[in-house]
Amino acid sequence: MSIPVGHYQYDRVDRDFLQARIAEFEGQVNRRLDGTLSEDEFKPLRLMNGLYLQLHAYMLRVAIPYGILDSRQLRKLGEIARRYDRDYGHFTTRQNIQFNWIRLEDTPDILRELAEVDMHAIQTSGNCIRNVTADEYAGAAADELVDPRVHAEVLRQWSTLHPEFTFLPRKFKIAISGSPNDRVAARFHDIGILARPGEDGAPVFRIFVGGGLGRTPVIGEELFDSVREEHLLATLEAILRVYNAHGRRDNIYKARIKILVQAIGVEAYREAVEAELGQMELDRYRLTPEAVAAIRARFAVPLLEAPDDADAVLTQQRRDDPLFDRWVRSNTHVHRDPGHIIATISLKPAGGIPGDATSAQIGRLADLADAYSFGEIRITHLQNVVLGHVRKDRLRDLWLGLSEVGLAEANIGLIGDIVACPGLDYCALANARSIPIAQKLGARFADTALQAEIGALRINISGCINACGHHHAGHIGLLGVDKRGEEFFQLTVGGQAENGAAIGTILGAALPEDETVDAIARLVDCYLGRRENGETFLDTLTRLGHEPFREAAYETV
Amino acid sequence: MKRPVRLEPGQKLVLTANRLLDGRIVWWCEGGTWDLHIGRAALLDADEAEAVLARVVAEAQRDGVVGVYDTAVQAAVPPEPVTVREKIRAHGPTVHPEFAVETEQ
Ligand code: HEM
Ligand code: SF4
């Protein structure tokens, strides 16, 4: 088999390990079914294997390391959706996929099917280092300085079954990007890493700690500005050790690293990490150029060849077809190769469920990836899908292919590109439903010409304070709250996940569900009425402050 | 997590859980069986519910269910849960009408 373009190539050791792990889990499932294990005993074991018990059924969360898979893997996910679930899967903001209707007794078989394509569900839950996320344009974007996938893979190998970090105080999420334009929300992760080339050409890493959302949203603080590659693992190891030793275990809501960093201050945290580094045997953790090169060799490099007129062909096609032009405007990004382009495929059809894809669509995406992008697919942290290396002169054919399966929505980065968590329709922890409100908003702003007119505006919806829908980071955020058994939504404005990371400000009292969409429409109208040339929603908000928006939201007719 | 049961007039309690094998939501019926349909659930008064719940919890493993608890319903035919959460549990995700529990056997 040839080496996949986008991700690390498994070998015998990886595959044997997965089989052993599945056999172990199958034994645990059997002991649960015959009553040898109680639910309390079984729960941490199933969570370690990505299996939750949700509202209506078991939910299996499958890891997609740094969000990249190949067409063979994607096709398998489609088959699993068809055979073991109800014909669809849900892509998440952590670049994973979730299946919502799984039977406990089927789980070992599903894990075996996943292992056939080098996939698993390990460390997608529980108090461990979760699947590492990375820039969805990794290895493709023109603005990239360092391809983060190689180091994301280093981190994957380092963190998988790390014996010391299997029982952390709480879950631990790491994201890495190699672009000056943060596309991973680095400052909202337990550890966020931004890579750039150092003076000698080898990468150096800027490291943020203690960011997070949830009930206590915190913007991560810079711990180190320039960690050298050879010390990357030692540094992370030391950060985790300090957290593992001092993070609170008495209160689940105060157990994340962000609480520890807030409690002692980032300077004290840095000193503790430096003290730990001072007594570590650094050679053991040294990341040598040879080790990095060996991992890099497990990634194939796509052969980027395009005809000289590829760009001219695309320009002409855009001129001829305004609908196609609109899609190219919102759904593509500049590739490092002038003959290629990055295409983002929206999983946010107007009125649809954000992040859901049917088995048929998943299969079709795999075919299109084979035809147009070296068989490689990326899942984004905004619940969309990326084909990273599309030849410019073939982009229109791809778009036509996407149109046939309802995947050509032109709304990336626009108001229709809503991020929503599963909410009360699926989630056992929810206060309110997130999906129906996303659907109503999607339908209200269905016209993509109107969306383009409104411009960059991100709406994020969470069904409870756990903030899986990143509502704190939305330009407009919605948080579901429960008032006497009824669904209400609290609105925030001004959140931002990227370079200018900011936590949204609450506008006022929560609104009843049936008034929420109108209130958001009034916010948008307020912006459209008062924006000055070229301003985005955030620009106008910054210039005017919250008051006009608050008035608009609470204006009663 | 046990909250004191305060029923409004016209309300009763039902017992509910997830099935161990497939996680599906089930409701406790007269005679000790579990059913996907809330319409078949046994309606309990607040004063009897505590004892029944204790008994049913003790038999959960044998019955193949997990996470047994009680919840309030309007005592109509079929009974209708009081909270949005339990309504969604009883009828299925609101975003997939084709998965409505009522249409299943
Ligand atoms: C349906 C099952 C889910 C459950 C039970 C669940 C549970 C939780 C909990 C308890 C937290 C808060 C953690 C803390 O602050 O300590 C959390 C945070 C989070 N979850 Fe979920 N979640 C679910 C689904 C999802 C989905 C579908 C996504 C992606 C769309 C997601 C992504 C996240 C993210 C990004 C955070 C916030 C970032 C952070 O502070 O870690 N979760 N989740
Ligand atoms: S934010 Fe709350 S409701 Fe939404 S998925 Fe997370 S835990 Fe569930």
The full DSSP string for A400-450 is: HHHHHTT-----TTSTT--EE--GGGT-TT-SS-SHHHHHHHHHHT--HHH
The residue out of A360, A381, A404 marking a domain boundary is A404
Collapsing DSSP to helix, strand or coil, A121 comes out as coil
Nearest by Cα to A72 from A366, A379, A371, A372: A366
Distance, C-alpha B8 to centroid of its chain: 18
Cβ A64 vs Cβ A131: under 8 Å: yes
Tokens of A272: 């503790």
Q: Confidence band (pLDDT; 50, 70, 90) for B104? A: confident
How close B31 gets to chain A, by Cα (Å)? 23
Q: Is A463 in the pocket of ligand 2 (CB under 6 A)?
A: yes
Residue A426 lies in a domain: yes
Pair A237, A270 in one domain: yes
Cβ A541 vs Cβ A494: under 8 Å: yes
The dihedral over CA atoms of A435, A440, A443, A446, expressed in degrees to the nearest 10, equals: -80
Residue A302 lies in a domain: no
Res B105 pLDDT > 70: no
Cβ A203 vs Cβ A167: under 8 Å: no
Residue A127 lies in a domain: no
Nearest by Cα to A209 from A239, A235, A185, A231: A239
Please check whether residue A429 touches B, CB under 8 A.
no
Q: Searching chain B, which residue's CA lies closest to the CA of residue A437?
A: B95
Residues on chain B touching A433 (C-beta within 8 angstroms): 84, 88, 94-95
Pair A196, A88 in one domain: no
Specify the pLDDT at position A50: 94
Specify the pLDDT at position B2: 47
Residues on chain B touching A104 (C-beta within 8 angstroms): 20-23
Specify the pLDDT at position A550: 96
Pair A146, A218 in one domain: yes
Tokens of A279: 């007594």
Ligand 1: distance of its center to the CA of A66 in Å?
17
Exposed, middle or buried by CB within 10 Å (0-12, 13-18, 19+), for A71? Answer: buried
Distance, C-alpha A461 to centroid of its chain: 15
Residue A411 lies in a domain: no
The partner residue sitting opposite B66, judged by closest CB among A53, A103, A485, is A53
Pair A100, A147 in one domain: no
How close A158 gets to chain B, by Cα (Å)? 34
CB pairs < 8 Å spanning A and B: 68
Residue A430 lies in a domain: yes
The full DSSP string for A122-140 is: TTSSSSSBPPPEE-TTTTT
β-pairing verdict for B25-28 and A486-493: unpaired
Pair A249, A148 in one domain: yes
Pair A457, A543 in one domain: yes
Pair A393, A464 in one domain: no
User: Which residues numbered 312-371 in A keep a CB inside 8 Å of some CB on B?
Assistant: 353
Region at B92 (left for phi over 0; alpha for psi -120 to 50; beta for the rest): left
CA dist., res. A186 & res. A182, Å (int): 7
The dihedral over CA atoms of A235, A94, A296, A156, expressed in degrees to the nearest 10, equals: 50
Q: Confidence band (pLDDT; 50, 70, 90) for B97? A: confident
Collapsing DSSP to helix, strand or coil, A141 comes out as strand
Specify the pLDDT at position A484: 85
Pair A194, A225 in one domain: yes
Q: Is A54 in the pocket of ligand 2 (CB under 6 A)?
A: no
Question: Tokens 């595959």 belong to which residue?
Answer: A15
| pLDDT, mean of each 10-residue run, chain A (557 residues) | 74 93 97 94 94 95 94 97 96 92 96 96 92 95 96 94 92 96 95 95 96 95 97 98 96 95 97 97 94 91 95 98 97 98 97 95 97 96 96 98 96 97 94 97 95 97 96 98 92 94 96 96 97 96 96 84
Q: Is the pTM above the cut of 0.90?
A: yes
The residue out of A274, A296, A318 marking a domain boundary is A296
Q: Is A429 in the pocket of ligand 2 (CB under 6 A)?
A: yes
Residue A519 lies in a domain: yes
Q: Do A433 and B88 touch (CB under 8 A)?
A: yes
Pair A399, A452 in one domain: no
β-pairing verdict for A356-358 and A88-91: antiparallel
Pair A110, A253 in one domain: no
B71-83 tens-digit pLDDT: 999 999 899 999 9
How close A426 gets to chain B, by Cα (Å)? 7
Pair A275, A341 in one domain: no
Specify the pLDDT at position A1: 46
Give the count of domains, chain A: 4
Tell me the CATH number at A350.
3.90.480.20
Q: Which ligand 2 atom sits nearest the alpha carbon of residue A422?
A: 5
Specify the pLDDT at position A243: 97
SS3 track for A350-391: CCCCCCEEEHHHHHHHHHHHHHHCCCEEEECCCCCEEEEEEE
Interface mutation vs chain A, best among B36, B66, B68, B101, most A CBs within 10 Å: B66
Its ipTM equals 0.92
Main-chain dihedrals φ then ψ at residue A436, nearest 5 degrees: -60, -35
Pair A486, A549 in one domain: yes
The angle formed by the CA atoms of residues A180, A182 and A187, to the nearest 5 degrees, is 125
Please check whether residue A437 touches B, CB under 8 A.
no
Q: Do A425 and B94 touch (CB under 8 A)?
A: yes
Q: Do A55 and B25 touch (CB under 8 A)?
A: yes
Nearest by Cα to A147 from A207, A94, A188, A196: A196
Q: Searching chain B, which residue's CA lies closest to the CA of residue A30?
A: B21
Q: Which ligand 1 atom sits nearest the alpha carbon of residue A419?
A: 30
Tell me the CATH number at A431.
3.30.413.10
Domain that includes residue A25, residue range: 12-116
- DSSP bridge pairs for A344: A386
Atom 8 of ligand 1, residue of closest alpha carbon: A466
